[in-house]
Amino acid sequence: MVNRLAALYVLLCLMPISAFGKLTVFTENLSGFQYYNEHGKFVGPNFDKVHRALSAANIDYELNVLGWSLAYNGVLRDPNACIFSLARLPMREPHFKWVAKLSYFTAYFYALPEKQIKFESILAAKEYKTAVIENNFSHHYLTQHGFKLGAQLLVIENVDRLFHIMKQRKHVLDLIVLNEMQYKTQREIDKTTPELSKVFKFKQEATSLYFACNTKISDDTIAKIKTGFEAVN
């Protein structure tokens, strides 16, 4: 009897998670980290780490590539879901099970050069109106630091809309927050994208990217995923 139970336990550990329900993995198309290449294939260093880790853990998964706000809300609703690449912030800490650090990015407050904006602290940025992407790290990080919606923050649904406002309605805002790779890629794709000046760099503690999961996902699944990441690192 004991041997049968032991054999059953080993079998369960080896079974892909699809036997209990396929894991849903949410992400966004983020240049330099996880993105569609010129052949329409989803690639990138962060995606590669995630795919290899889940494969090593023998976990079957479904990848959903959405706009960031949809991806973020999706993982919060689905008890059998994970997300990447998610910046780890204090206000997000209790809402996820944090599994593995993938990388970090460099982010700045950007402004049009003619505005001649300069400051040396996050708090000083409260003197200006800043546009951020909804549910992006900058939205949550600045809210956490006391920035008020409407007065100091303008929340935009996606990066394309953010650049549109910067080009067409630049009088309504002073600053935008982007990671450096997003800005460089946008300039390469769209030559009409305005040249922006770097005003202030975010500290690395705010820009570390993780693979994280819904808090209701089982501890056994989390353990398997962590083992997968350990195997490929």
Stated pTM of the model: 0.84
d(CA 164, CA 172): 12
Give the whole-number percent of the chain exceeding pLDDT 90: 76
**pLDDT bucket at 37, cuts 50 / 70 / 90:** very high
The four Cα atoms 118, 120, 125, 131 give a dihedral, to 10 degrees, of 70
- The H or E element that residue 156 is part of is strand 153-156
Q: What's the pLDDT at 26?
A: 99
What are 200-215's pLDDT values in tens digits? 999 887 899 999 999 9
Rounded CA-CA distance 189/24 in Å is 30
Cβ neighbours around 160 below 10 Å, total: 11
Coil/strand/helix, residue 16: coil
Q: For residue 154, which phi and psi values (nearest 5 degrees)?
A: -115, 115
In the chain, what are the domains? 22-104+207-232 (3.40.190.10), 107-204 (3.40.190.10)
Task: Give the model confidence (pLDDT) of 83-118 as tens digits.
Answer: 999 999 999 999 999 999 999 999 999 999 999 999
Is 36 strand, coil or helix?
strand
Mean pLDDT of all residues in the chain? 90
Provide the total of helices (H) and of strands (E) in the chain, helices listed first.
7, 12
Instruction: Please determine, for residue 9, whether its predicted confidence score (pLDDT) is greater than 80.
Output: no
The pLDDT of residue 96 is 99
- Decide: 214 and 225 in contact? Cβ < 8 Å: no
